[in-house]
Amino acid sequence: MARPPVKQRRSWWEKFSAAFRGLWYGIVGQSSFAVHFAVAITVILVAALFRVRETEWCILILSITVVMSAELFNSALEWLAPAITQEYDRYIETALNVASAAVLVASIGSAVIGLIIFGPRLVALLACLLA
């Protein structure tokens, strides 16, 4: 069995540069990531307005990170699939569907967390506005 080629060592600058390029491709190259990015900014602004507690900040930031990471992994597979084959392949289709499901599960979980954290505050705000 042939050994894989030895990768050249990269500096930390090169590693971070590549990571930020990947983030940029995620933001501008995938409409789903752009939507998640916009929702993340909105959640952060609403959390600041509601002055959520430190623990809630941690949970919200973790939720945002999980969704965005899942979306980036999904995007990576979507970029990779056509490089493997231009032909229809049911295994690739299944892999892409599973990656999409991971984003869906992370998004639903994060939405539930958002409802738990923001729900009571939104109800109280609505009650004050209607009173």
Residue 7's pLDDT is 75
Q: What is the pTM of this model?
A: 0.84
User: Under CATH, which architecture does the 16-130 domain have?
Assistant: Orthogonal Bundle (1.10)
Whether residue 121 is predicted with pLDDT greater than 90 in this model: the reply is: yes
Pairwise CA distance, residues 95 & 99, whole Å = 6
CA angle centred on 65, ends 63 and 71, rounded to 5°? 105
Residue type, 71: E
Query: Which of 18-22, 44-48, 105-109 is predicted with the least confidence, judged by mean pLDDT?
Result: 18-22
Binding residues: 71, 78, 100
What pLDDT digit, counting tens, does each position of 66-94 carry? Answer: 999 999 999 899 989 999 999 999 999 99
Is the CB of residue 99 less than 8 Å from the CB of residue 73? yes
Q: Is 71 a catalytic residue?
A: yes
Binding residues for substrate: 71, 100
Binding residues for a divalent metal cation: 78
Residue 33's pLDDT is 84
Per-domain residue ranges of the chain = 16-130
Whether residue 63 is predicted with pLDDT greater than 70 in this model: the reply is: yes
Burial of 33 (0-12, 13-18, 19+ CB in 10 A): buried
Q: Among residues 54, 71, 87, 93, which one is catalytic?
A: 71
Residue 2's pLDDT is 74
Residue with the two structure tokens 């609403």 = 46
Whether residue 115 is predicted with pLDDT greater than 90 in this model: the reply is: yes
